[in-house]
């Protein structure tokens, strides 16, 4: 069965358009034939392969993207040389350049940053149509940094600010720190440049370096959270499994009937301490931390501040009191079970603000994605 047509079109349309553009110009050359061969192989693969991963893997391993692009560059380059030598000269080059910019603007129409992207192109077209010669056009474009601006530096900076705001919205301190550094390095390069636009190549290197520096720290941070999160659940569930509400709680209730439900409860009562102890051991082995370290650890404090700790303070305190009892073949103190019953009856186990966004968070989200998206994702949860 061929690859899904919409997905194949999304990949191949660019190449089809480039081929059509040359065909309409009546090009006949060896390199144009090479374009045709590469494209026809791509079309055949879209019919012969049965999923998109296999299709893109074939396109890449058979080098078809590169073969096509190389042939296209060669065809274009030959065309320009031919036109230049037939007497068009500078005026023709200027005209061709401006035509290319005009076409680019058309292709950008659906781009979310259309307005920002088209401005430098329009500036270049305006300059080119102002009656200046080709070399003057080229010089002014260099001096005003229009080429660099055309590489999308304004859009890039906007995107960097959005990344930073998103990290703030998500309350991710390492990502915030990383985005801040990336933005700083961008602005430093821009200020150092004679045209006040960051060199995109140099910025790319700096950015890779910062991403590289933060990757292990971010992995470490996420792994710590993943481990303590499961430990909290183990202790909390263990205590609750001894409560009178357990048979009616979705954690244990089994659609097959009461016998199964009671067996689920007994499994938690009997096994959670043993399971918890191994988790505690892994936590120790990984990070040389124990149960008590969780609550003062920067990851916990941050998750708490970010409203991502689901349990109420009361529930957390109860877990701390339950911890000494949570050892294999043991049971919790009856007083703790009593406390858990009360907390459950009054629905005080969950922090009211858990997974709620502050008005500051809301502002940040809207500044990146707009009010419509906020309403779409979070509107229904707002009081």
Partner 1 sequence: MEKRHQEYMEYYQARLKKYENNSLYPHSYQSEKELCEAIANSDNLDEFGRKVEDGNLAVENAIALVKDQETARKKLYQELKEEIRLHAPLRILDVIDTLKTDLELTNTVSEIEGEVSNEIALDLFTEEIYYDLLSLEEIEVFQSAEVPDEWKQEINQDYPQELITMGREDWNESVIPNVHKWDPEWQYNFDLIWEERHRRLIPIPDEVLKKRIEQFKIYRGI
HSE on the CB side for 60, CA within 13 Å? 7
279 near partner 1 (CB under 8 A): yes
Distance in Å, CB of 160 to partner 1, minimum: 20
Token pair, residue 71, equals 């042939």
Instruction: Give the range of 40-48, 120-128, 129-137, 356-364 binding partner 1 by CB under 8 A.
Output: 129-137
Q: Which of residues 207-226 bind partner 1 (CB under 8 A)?
A: 208-209, 212, 215-216, 219-220, 223, 226
Residue 55 to residue 125: CA distance in whole angstroms: 39
Residue 275 to residue 257: CA distance in whole angstroms: 26
Residue 370 to residue 366: CA distance in whole angstroms: 4
Which residue, 211 or 376, has its beta carbon nearer to partner 1?
211
Residue 171 to residue 304: CA distance in whole angstroms: 10
Question: Which residues does 109 contact at the CB level (< 8 Å), separation at least 6?
Answer: none
What number of other Cβ atoms are within 10 A of residue 340's Cβ? 26
Which residue, 209 or 363, has its beta carbon nearer to partner 1?
209
Which residue, 139 or 320, has its beta carbon nearer to partner 1?
139
Residue 249 to residue 53: CA distance in whole angstroms: 43
103 near partner 1 (CB under 8 A): no
Which residue, 271 or 301, has its beta carbon nearer to partner 1?
271
Distance in Å, CB of 52 to partner 1, minimum: 11
Among 30, 48, 122, 142, which residue interacts with partner 1 (rule: CB under 8 A)?
142
85 near partner 1 (CB under 8 A): no
Token pair, residue 106, equals 């058309």
Which residue, 20 or 220, has its beta carbon nearer to partner 1?
220
What SS3 state is found at 109?
A: coil
Among 10, 100, 271, 345, which residue interacts with partner 1 (rule: CB under 8 A)?
271
Distance in Å, CB of 144 to partner 1, minimum: 10
Residue 29 to residue 259: CA distance in whole angstroms: 79
Residue 274 to residue 234: CA distance in whole angstroms: 10
Residues in contact with partner 1 by CB under 8 A are 53-54, 57-58, 60-61, 63, 65-66, 69-70, 73-74, 77, 90, 133, 135-136, 138-139, 142-143, 194-195, 199, 201-202, 205, 208-209, 212, 215-216, 219-220, 223, 226-227, 267, 270-271, 273-275, 277-279, 282, 285-286, 328-329
């Amino acid at each position: 069965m061929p690859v899904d047509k919409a997905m194949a079109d999304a990949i191949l349309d660019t190449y089809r358009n480039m081929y059509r553009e040359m065909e309409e110009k009546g090009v006949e050359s060896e390199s144009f034939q090479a374009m045709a061969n590469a494209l026809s192989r791509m079309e055949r693969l879209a019919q012969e392969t049965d999923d998109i991963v296999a299709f893109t893997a074939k396109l890449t391993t058979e080098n078809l993207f590169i073969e096509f692009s190389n042939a296209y560059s060669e065809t274009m380059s030959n065309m320009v040389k031919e036109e230049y030598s037939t007497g068009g000269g500078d005026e023709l080059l200027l005209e061709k350049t401006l035509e290319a910019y005009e076409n680019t603007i058309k292709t950008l129409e659906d781009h979310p940053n259309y307005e920002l992207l088209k401005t430098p192109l329009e500036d270049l077209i305006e300059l080119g149509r102002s009656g200046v010669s080709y070399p003057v056009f080229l010089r002014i474009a260099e001096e005003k940094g229009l080429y660099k601006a055309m590489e999308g530096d304004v859009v890039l900076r906007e995107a960097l600010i959005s990344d930073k705001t998103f990290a703030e919205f998500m309350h991710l301190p390492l990502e915030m720190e990383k985005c801040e550094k990336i933005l700083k390095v961008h602005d430093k390069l821009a200020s150092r440049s004679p045209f006040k636009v960051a060199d995109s190549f140099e910025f790319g290197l700096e950015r890779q370096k910062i991403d590289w520096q933060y990757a292990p720290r971010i992995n470490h941070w996420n792994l710590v959270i993943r481990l303590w999160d499961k430990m909290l659940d183990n202790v909390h569930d263990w205590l609750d499994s001894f409560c009178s509400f357990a048979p009616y709680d979705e954690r244990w209730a089994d659609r097959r009937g009461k016998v199964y439900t009671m067996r689920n409860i007994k499994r938690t009562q009997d096994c959670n301490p043993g399971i918890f102890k191994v988790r505690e051991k892994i936590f120790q082995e990984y990070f040389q931390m124990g149960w008590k370290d969780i609550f003062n650890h920067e990851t916990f404090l941050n998750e708490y501040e970010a409203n991502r700790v689901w349990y109420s303070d009361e529930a957390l305190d109860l877990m701390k009191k339950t911890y000494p009892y949570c050892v294999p073949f043991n049971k919790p103190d009856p007083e703790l079970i009593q406390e858990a019953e009360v907390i459950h009856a009054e629905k005080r186990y969950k922090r009211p603000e858990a997974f709620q966004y502050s008005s500051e968070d809301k502002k940040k989200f809207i500044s990146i994605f707009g009010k419509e998206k906020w309403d779409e994702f979070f509107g229904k949860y707002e009081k």
